[in-house]
């Protein structure tokens, strides 16, 4: 899978073999090739544009780690950004507390909808659910029969009705599911070769009358941007809860996998990797990015080197702190370190005593606050970061406009920082005993 993309990216990375620092100039050719590789893999044009902007900014801004070669570091940056593109993993199905949970699968004909209904039913049955499959695809003559065969293989009930209409089939299925004590209902709806109004009207009717709890769009990853365009059309009509990418085992080009999340905003939930019913996996962006690049070893080398650099940086920071030195550069570094360690809320939830606070912080956007602080510090010059007292009214305005905040936010931050720096200075003058006493109150 992703063979062509992988080959093209491999060629592009070789262009980054420069001696010395990566600069915008010497990266130009390599970056152009990464861009072409993505476009040829049928990734959405706008998505590619944003992706390249982020990769370039990160690469130029990154301090090169001596232990790894520049092109290896580029591989890692591209790897991380691919993960970002595909969105976070959330391969879950929400279940209703009362009554059966109704899941509706939709998609174009041939996308793998009927097969995926079976795969999903199998996965949920293995998790202890009691699914019922519902044959609401009355368009494709063989679909009902196909679903019955799948149900037979899985030993799960399949509901169908002759001479009926899709809404009635689904409504009657709900009654039957209750009677048979099934707690999960999977609707296999009709598809067409192309998006058309009649199909959408039928699906909207089902959504209105049957009120499925979640709607998943089954997306053929081999069809690249076409798949993304139909995902968009379905999402407009139905408000999708998730995307299931199929045929990732074939010669999927990457376009659908890499664009669908950014273009539609709908998360990828599961991926199909074969015709068999056990070939459905939870969506795992790291694994997929690894498969696209095929350079897992390089990524882990850079990660390890990065950790070593981080440890060194932390030691340097501690030394500065011990000497009572603490400026906005240090403060920014601390924030960057903290962000690397995970989300703030996640961090707080791991520390006893603070976990309660993290719950109480429900309404406060801690991540956003940190981003804001970092934005302000980033808009200062290095000199201003070490000597915030130099920031006058005019500079305060410039910094605020650079960071997209009010000038009063800049002074607020400097004030907070001054208070913190004073504590650091006074702590550095205390004996170890006094420090402990001060910290434990």
Question: Which own/partner pairs from 25-31 qualify as long-range (CB within 8 Å, at least 24 positions apart)?
Answer: 27/56, 27/59, 27/60, 27/74, 30/71, 30/74, 31/55, 31/56, 31/59
- Return the number of the residue (243 or 344) whose C-beta is nearest ligand GDP: 243
Closest CA to 56 of 68, 44, 67, 48: 48
- Return the number of the residue (70 or 285) whose C-beta is nearest ligand GDP: 285
Q: Footprint of ligand GDP on this chain (CB under 6 A)? A: 107, 109-115, 140, 143, 191, 246-247, 249-250, 272-275, 279
Contact between 12 and 33 under an 8 Å Cβ cutoff? The reply is yes
| Closest distance of CB 120 from ligand GDP, Å | 11
- Return the number of the residue (228 or 414) whose C-beta is nearest ligand GDP: 228
| Closest distance of CB 186 from ligand GDP, Å | 12
Contact between 59 and 27 under an 8 Å Cβ cutoff? The reply is yes
- Return the number of the residue (279 or 333) whose C-beta is nearest ligand GDP: 279
- Return the number of the residue (119 or 261) whose C-beta is nearest ligand GDP: 119
Dist. CA 144–CA 352, nearest whole Å: 55
The verdict on whether residue 419 carries a ligand-binding annotation is no
Q: Cβ contacts of residue 37 below 8 Å, gap of 6+?
A: 5, 8, 9, 11, 12
Dist. CA 181–CA 148, nearest whole Å: 19
The verdict on whether residue 190 carries a ligand-binding annotation is yes
The verdict on whether residue 191 carries a ligand-binding annotation is yes
Strands 268-272 and 242-246: parallel
The verdict on whether residue 111 carries a ligand-binding annotation is yes
Dist. CA 225–CA 262, nearest whole Å: 12
- Return the number of the residue (138 or 143) whose C-beta is nearest ligand GDP: 143
The verdict on whether residue 240 carries a ligand-binding annotation is no
The verdict on whether residue 58 carries a ligand-binding annotation is no
The verdict on whether residue 363 carries a ligand-binding annotation is no
Closest CA to 253 of 84, 83, 8, 54: 8
Q: Provide the 10 A C-beta neighbour count for residue 23.
A: 11
- Structure tokens belonging to residue 274: 């074969």
Binding residues for GTP: 107-114, 188-192, 246-249
């Amino acid at each position: 899978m992703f063979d062509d993309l992988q080959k093209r990216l491999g060629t592009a990375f070789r262009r980054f073999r420069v001696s010395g620092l990566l600069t915008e100039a010497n990266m130009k050719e390599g970056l152009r090739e990464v861009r072409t590789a993505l476009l040829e893999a049928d990734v959405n044009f706008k998505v590619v544009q944003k992706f390249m902007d982020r990769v370039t900014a990160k690469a130029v801004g990154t301090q090169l780690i001596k232990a790894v070669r520049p092109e290896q570091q580029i591989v890692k940056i591209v790897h991380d950004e691919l993960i970002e593109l595909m969105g976070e993993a959330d391969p879950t199905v929400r279940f209703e507390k009362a009554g059966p949970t109704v899941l509706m699968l939709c998609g174009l004909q041939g996308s793998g909808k009927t097969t995926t209904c079976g795969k999903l039913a199998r996965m949920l049955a293995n998790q202890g659910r009691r699914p019922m499959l519902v044959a609401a695809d009355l368009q494709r003559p063989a679909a009902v029969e196909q679903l019955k065969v799948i149900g037979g293989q899985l030993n799960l009930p399949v509901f169908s009705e002759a001479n009926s209409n899709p809404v009635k089939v689904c409504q009657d299925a709900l009654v039957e599911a209750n009677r048979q004590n099934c707690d999960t209902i999977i609707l296999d709806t009709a598809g067409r070769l192309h998006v058309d109004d009649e199909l959408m009207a039928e699906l909207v009717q089902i959504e209105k009358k049957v009120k499925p709890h979640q709607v998943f769009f089954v997306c053929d990853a081999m069809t690249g941007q076409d798949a993304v365009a139909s995902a968009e059309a379905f999402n407009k009509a139905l408000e999708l809860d998730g995307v299931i990418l199929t045929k990732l085992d074939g010669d999927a080009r990457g376009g659908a996998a890499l664009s669908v999340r950014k273009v539609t905003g709908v998360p990828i939930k599961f991926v199909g990797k074969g015709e068999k019913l056990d070939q459905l996996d939870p969506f795992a962006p790291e694994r997929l990015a690894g498969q696209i690049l095929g350079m897992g070893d390089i990524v882990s080398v850079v990660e390890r080197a990065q950790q070593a650099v981080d440890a060194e940086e932390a030691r340097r920071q501690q030394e500065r702190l011990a000497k009572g030195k603490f400026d906005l550069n240090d403060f920014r570094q601390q924030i960057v370190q903290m962000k690397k360690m995970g989300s703030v809320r996640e961090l707080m939830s791991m520390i006893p005593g603070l976990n309660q606070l993290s719950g109480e912080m429900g309404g406060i956007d801690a991540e956003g606050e940190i981003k804001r602080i970092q934005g302000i510090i980033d808009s200062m010059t290095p000199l201003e970061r070490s000597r915030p007292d130099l920031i006058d009214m005019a500079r305060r305005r410039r910094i605020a406009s650079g960071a997209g905040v009010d000038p009063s936010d800049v002074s607020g931050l400097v004030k907070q920082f001054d208070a913190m720096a004073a504590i650091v200075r006074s702590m550095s003058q205390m004996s170890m005993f006094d420090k402990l006493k001060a910290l434990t109150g």
